[in-house]
Chain A
């Protein structure tokens, strides 16, 4: 009769992987959004400078 294997560590690893990858993805979305917003500001100012 097999004793029930303790695979809790694997369960934790699984959910941890999910949490990490998911968070990294969301963070990257937020980061890229910010950067694009900055780019738009910069480009709009450049546009104003060259076309007064």
Chain B
């Protein structure tokens, strides 16, 4: 487990290149939006990062179920990697969403269903790591983590639906009600290019980081095993 496998190296370089191109497309190539100005460009990365968060979220759920069915510790490593990545990228997405909201709606936070659900998911992730920290036995730690991941994976979609309906009943009036003031905008073809390219870029970045984090997890496991051996 010493040298970085060549496919991963290629993926690293590809990710970096794609990221630079995506940034260029978003910042320079895409036109400035007519009603809210340049802050709209944050949107390309905001959605792309949230997308990565989603990929991590789903991966974690799958890994959790896989662990419970197979009891193979490899799935635990995958699960932790997925949760950590999702945590980081949802965080970026939330902050970017907040930065977007400030000039458009004159508020740092809107209790918008997707944003709120993302924040709740972050809390679940934090609880997840606190749970893992509180358990010494690796077997029990893996089991409990997988159970909590399963619970979280099911709970979050229901939470989203509940909050969304809550918002339709209790709409938060922020500024004008016109579509533009609500932060909506139509995407020109150039904007669509930037948007979809960002999504593609960050999907590649997700796979790259996921692979890296899994390797890290395997190394962590090895250290734990060695520690146990030396303690004897």
Contact = CB atoms under 8 A, between A and B. Distances in A.
A7 B39 contact: yes
A47 B45 contact: no
A52 B12 CA distance: 41
B37 A5 contact: yes
Q: Tell me the dominant secondary structure on chain B's binding face.
A: helix
Contact of B38 (A7, A17, A40, A43): A7
B227 interface: yes
B171 to A, nearest CB: 24
A45 to B, nearest CB: 10
Interface residues of A, number: 29
A50 B230 CA distance: 8
B45 A15 contact: yes
Nearest to B97: A14
B39 A10 contact: yes
A18 B37 CA distance: 19
Interface of A: 2, 4-8, 10-11, 13-15, 17-18, 21-22, 25-26, 29, 32-33, 36-37, 39-40, 43-44, 46-47, 50
19 contacts: A5-B103, A7-B36, A7-B103, A10-B42, A11-B38, A11-B40, A14-B39, A14-B41, A14-B99, A15-B27, A15-B42, A18-B49, A18-B96, A21-B95, A29-B209, A29-B216, A36-B219, A43-B226, A46-B230
